[in-house]
Amino acid sequence: MEDITLHIGTRRVKTIYSVIASSNRLEILRILNTKGPLSYSELKTLAGFKSKKESGKFAYHLRKLVRQMLINLSRSERKYSVTSLGRLILNLTRQIEEQSVIESGKLFVRTSRQTMEEFNVDKITQSLVKEAGMPVELAQKITSEVESRLYKFQTTYLTSPLIREIVNSVLIEHGYDEYRHRLTRLGLPVYDVNELIAKIGSSGDGIDSLLSQTFEAVLSEFLFLNQLPKDVSDLHLSGDIHISNSGRWGLVPDTLFIDLTHLKNSGLHLAGSLFPIPRISPPKDLADATTAFTTLASLMASESSAEICCRGFNGYVASSIGNLSDEEALRTLKQGFILSSLSLPRKKTSPFVSIQIGGTLDKEFDCDQKSLDRSTRLILEAYKEYSSITPLPKLKLILNDNIIGKNELADNLLSIVNVGGAISLCQNDSFYSYLGLRGDSIDSQSFNGVILHGLSLNLARMAHESIGDETYLRAKLALLLRSSKNALVARKKIVAETIKKGLMPALASNSAIVSAENVKLVVNLTALPEAINSISGERSSLSNYLSTSEKILDTANKVASEKEEQVTVAMIPEYGTERLAVLDTEKYGKSAVGPQVKHGYSQSINIKIDNVKDDLLRKAELFSSKLNGGCSVRLQLSKQSSADDILNVINKLKGEINSYTITRDMYICRNCGSKTSSPISRCKICKSATIQQSPFL
């Protein structure tokens, strides 16, 4: 009996070997193993049997594989898939191929395409000429040296990354850094990927954040090695400047100013017809309007990195409500806010959406003042409800201070901030982004375009190096500002080319909503208050502080406006200030940097609303007037702050500071998402100890 079984098994093995002896059948197995279940026609095309004359031949090979149970046909799905026996055969085949390579005594390369090829030294020369732009004669010389080193290795096969490492090593030894940069392989070490997975898993950001941070890490390397001038890259790496969102900085704009009148009148379109996104017609009612807005927010968030400012939202809603009752309109608006928030990327450093309530653009819509007033009330109520159930709102409000009566405005501000809403105030008919960027053009007309920023100068380091010498600090500021300005001008061209290549279809197709032709360049000043304190002396008089500030800011404005391409200067929150503080701590010591080591340098003027000091207001007024790109001013509420306190400050700032945010420290349970304005060690709802203070952005 045992002999009969052995005979049957031997015959079965011979039959299987005869089946896979055909290169066509082996290729069919490999395709199914790689691509997964495929239909008859899909598999036939991928296997190269494209003509009708070859149909019989393909069917013959397929029957052979099915009969030997190497592939299986699902009758219900009508698709073929590889069996476990088929996978075993493929693994054995690959091992045999690799062993044959070893026995041959030749040198082979395991390529990034997952194939084994005989080593061809000419490919190194071709790569040096094509990828690095090296002259042929020099490329042949480098190749010869690399070849001699590779043959000294006691290995049977090489890998593409290993060959590239040896080439780069030879280039470094000969001082060819420029060529090495062009050849550098971009990617993450295995350890870094594992660390990233663990970090994102504990933060709760989700798989989308892991994928985006992984590809942004690669694009960040690409930016510093290939896109930026070497001197700018060196300034960033050393800590003299910081480039925020470096993975997206060399591809997409930071902040977009959007005109919602065109969304209302013309809808939303994408170039071409192959995008899996419906074309949005002009909205006819509030449900249509919220759908169009949600789609717009989602598309623009993928083509920006900081903020999407939507102007005219009040008129957009008022002109769409129609005969809806307050209850129906409120429910639709709240649902729209929730869906818009869900459509945005979850990563904390991803762009958010700010919506303007009030302002001159509302008058462009076909609605009367009564409709606008009703819309204002409903939007504020819907936003309050949205904020109360959202741990970290990705939607922010920008209110003009003349939309409703001052008392009612103060009450609304307090109630929204108390539930964790994010809100800023603009005086009169001015318009600023939530970050504090100016929303008008040079001729004071409404700005409808993109702002490139995300580049911050480290003024704290300049102050450390100047040792109290104001002239030295201003000279250093001028030098860094010119380099930064050149980087932004170069970036403007890069972004324009990215749009032309079709990588930003939403921006390219909707120029009436947001024009990519209208571009403003902004350089950010980080640690400006710390630098002025260092130069003027922390105990100096207010007049001395203001005088020093004025000289520094005048220098910045003068250098920024040089030549044809004008740049403005601002002081707004940008990611990365903590990094600059850490680098300065390593260079100058913890005592020199102070408490900023933990939280990062200043990028806003912070005013406690129940203790408004005149000297701090004077400083804020000067900064706001001199920083022509924008200035972030934050009014911080305490637990005891009332609507009267807010009203008093609004009246006090009238005509002095055009834009400011009103904030309150919130404490969020990472387990259940509940929020409170009181510092707690354990959640009152779920008893979890995972409490996090909400960030400003």
List the Cα angle 684/689/692 in 5-degree steps.
95
Pairing state of beta strands 450-452 and 667-669? unpaired
> What are 609-630's pLDDT values in tens digits?
887 888 888 999 999 999 999 9
N residues, the chain? 697
> What are 337-365's pLDDT values in tens digits?
999 999 888 777 789 999 999 877 888 88
Model confidence at 26: pLDDT above 50:
yes
Model confidence at 442: pLDDT above 70:
no
Model confidence at 161: pLDDT above 90:
no
Pairing state of beta strands 79-82 and 38-39? antiparallel
Phi, psi angle pair for 260, to nearest 5°: -75, -10
pLDDT higher at 271 or 506 = 506
Residue in 204, 200, 643, 196 with CA at minimum distance from that of residue 391: 204
Measured between alpha carbons, how far is 439 from 424 in angstroms, rounded to an integer?
Answer: 14
Model confidence at 103: pLDDT above 80:
no
Mean pLDDT across 174-192? 76
pLDDT score at 350: 86
Highest mean pLDDT among 103-107, 380-384, 511-515, 605-609: 380-384
Residue type, 383: Y
pLDDT score at 440: 78
Distances from the Cα of 674 to the Cα of 73, 97, 473, 688, angstroms? 52, 59, 46, 11
Report CA dihedral (391, 393, 397, 398) to the nearest 10 degrees. 110
Model confidence at 263: pLDDT above 70:
yes
Measured between alpha carbons, how far is 93 from 88 in angstroms, rounded to an integer?
Answer: 9
pLDDT score at 593: 82
pLDDT score at 115: 54
The single-letter DSSP state of residue 394 is: S
Which residues of 497-612 form beta strands (DSSP E)? 519-526, 568-571, 605-608
Residue in 100, 629, 494, 512 with CA at minimum distance from that of residue 266: 512
CB 12 within 8 A of CB 55: no
Give burial (CB, 10 Å; 0-12/13-18/19+) of 132: buried
* Structure tokens that stand for 377 in this block: 């009330």
pLDDT score at 473: 94
pLDDT score at 156: 60
Measured between alpha carbons, how far is 35 from 47 in angstroms, rounded to an integer?
Answer: 12
pLDDT higher at 692 or 561 = 561
Banded pLDDT at 258 (limits 50, 70, 90): very high
Which residues of 57-120 form beta strands (DSSP E)? 71-74, 79-82, 108-110, 116-118
Helix, strand or coil, per DSSP, at residue 325: coil
| Element spanning 558, H or E | helix 542-560
pTM (predicted TM-score): 0.77
CB 56 within 8 A of CB 90: no
Residue type, 379: I
Give burial (CB, 10 Å; 0-12/13-18/19+) of 175: exposed
pLDDT score at 22: 83
List the Cα angle 528/532/537 in 5-degree steps.
150
pLDDT score at 5: 46
What does the buried/exposed string (b/e) look like for 203-212 if buried means 16 or more CB atoms within 10 Å of the residue's CB? eebeeebbeb
Measured between alpha carbons, how far is 72 from 91 in angstroms, rounded to an integer?
Answer: 18
> Which residues neighbour 318 within 8 Å (Cβ) at sequence distance 6 or greater?
362, 365, 367, 371, 372, 374, 375
Mean pLDDT across 83-105? 73
* Structure tokens that stand for 516 in this block: 């990519």
Mean pLDDT across 203-223? 78
Model confidence at 462: pLDDT above 90:
yes
pLDDT score at 155: 62
| Element spanning 170, H or E | helix 160-173
> What are 380-403's pLDDT values in tens digits?
999 999 999 998 899 999 998 888
Model confidence at 551: pLDDT above 90:
yes
Residue in 424, 430, 426, 423 with CA at minimum distance from that of residue 446: 430
Distances from the Cα of 235 to the Cα of 231, 232, 242, 457, 512, angstroms? 6, 5, 8, 10, 37
Strands ordered across the beta sheet of 79-82: 38-39, 79-82, 71-74
> Which residues neighbour 444 within 8 Å (Cβ) at sequence distance 6 or greater?
none
